[in-house]
Amino acid sequence: MLEIKNFSKSYGDKKVVDNLNLSVENGEIFGFIGHNGAGKTTTIKSIVGILDFEAGDILIDGKSIKNDEMACKRIMAYIPDNPDIYESLTGIRYLNFIGDIYKVDARLRETLIRQYADAFELTANLGDVIASYSHGMKQKLMIISALIHQPKLLILDEPFVGLDPKAAHILKQLMRELCDQGGSIFFSTHVLEVVEKLCDHVAIIKNGSIITEGSIDQVMGDQSLEEVFLELTDHE
Ligand SMILES: Nc1ncnc2c1ncn2[C@@H]1O[C@H](COP(=O)(O)OP(=O)(O)OP(=O)(O)O)[C@@H](O)[C@H]1O
């Protein structure tokens, strides 16, 4: 579903990701972890077509984000680490705006909005302007907007930051459901317990290079993910 091949990215003359390779299969939840500044957001923004990159390619369901951007964007959804959305719209207008862009059938859209807004306890606030939302409420709205067009690939950058425990629990359930239905998820996080419990696959990035990657069981062995992470990232 997602294939990153020989991907390198620089800002000016500073290379921040160096020859990164990884793939996410159908039905898989893939956790992407690494210290601050390791290159996670840069990789994610390149996957979703926000950043250009100088080397390698990124394929979504076999199509290149460089050469076939619209086809890639149609089947993928991205939830950034900072929910900066149109503050002057109401929640429901924003969701309908996204529904229109992705041509989500009106009936299906209504059902999905109700289902997800109820799950995240946001239904009563959908008529309010987004400017009045808390950080967590904006985050929930972004998650709902990503799910209503039923993406095959969901990309999330630190999705659990700012969510209350119940919302985090619901998001984990929805992530698992999407993958049980054949979708794929690639997400970054600093919450290693979530990766341990939720992910099928994990990669650790350090200074722009993958230092270990594999199934969660392979990577952890008989240690906790925290132990593995600290051991691998502590050494220069
Ligand atoms: N717009 C930019 N211009 C120049 N350098 C940048 C830019 N954005 C990021 N960088 C640098 O690229 C490197 C990787 O940053 P990135 O945001 O991808 O890290 P990250 O792994 O997502 O970190 P965090 O866990 O703190 O979110 C860092 O050294 C950062 O300073």
* Matching residue, tokens 């924003």: 94
Give yes or no for residue 42 CB within 6 A of ligand 1.
yes
Mean pLDDT of 201-230: 94
In a domain, 80, yes or no: no
Region 153-167: mean pLDDT is: 94
Instruction: Give tens-digit pLDDT for 40-71.
Output: 999 999 999 999 999 999 999 999 999 999 99
* Banded model confidence at residue 84, pLDDT cuts 50, 70, 90: confident
Where a domain ends, among 134, 150, 166? 150
What percent of the chain shows pLDDT beyond 90?
94
Query: Atom 24, ligand 1: which residue's CA is nearest?
Result: 36
Cα 93 to middle of ligand 1, angstroms = 33
62 and 89 fall within a common domain: no
187-206 per-position pLDDT tens digit: 999 999 999 999 999 999 99
Pocket test for ligand 1, best of 41, 47, 54, 233 (most atoms within 8 A of CB): 41
Distance CA(69)–CA(53), nearest Å, equals 14
Q: What pLDDT is recorded for position 83?
A: 83
SS3 readout for 150-202: CCCEEEEECCCCCCCHHHHHHHHHHHHHHHHCCCEEEEECCCHHHHHHHCCEE
Which residue's alpha carbon is at the smallest distance from atom 19 of ligand 1?
37
Is the pLDDT confidence value at 164 over 90?
Answer: yes
The predicted model gives 102-106 an average pLDDT of 94
Name which of 31-45, 59-73, 122-136, 221-235 the model is least confident about.
221-235
Mean pLDDT of 4-26: 96
Whole-number Å distance between alpha carbons of 218 and 182: 23
Confidence grade of residue 235 (pLDDT, cut at 50, 70, 90): low
Would you say the CB of residue 127 lies under 6 angstroms from ligand 1? Answer: no
Decide which of 150, 175, 205 is a domain's last residue: 150
- Looking at the structure, do residues 167 and 223 belong to the same domain, yes or no? yes
Q: Is the CB of 36 under 6 A from ligand 1?
A: yes
Q: What is the mean pLDDT of residues 23-32?
A: 96
Count up the domains in the chain and report the number: 2
Residue 38 sits in the same domain as residue 61? yes
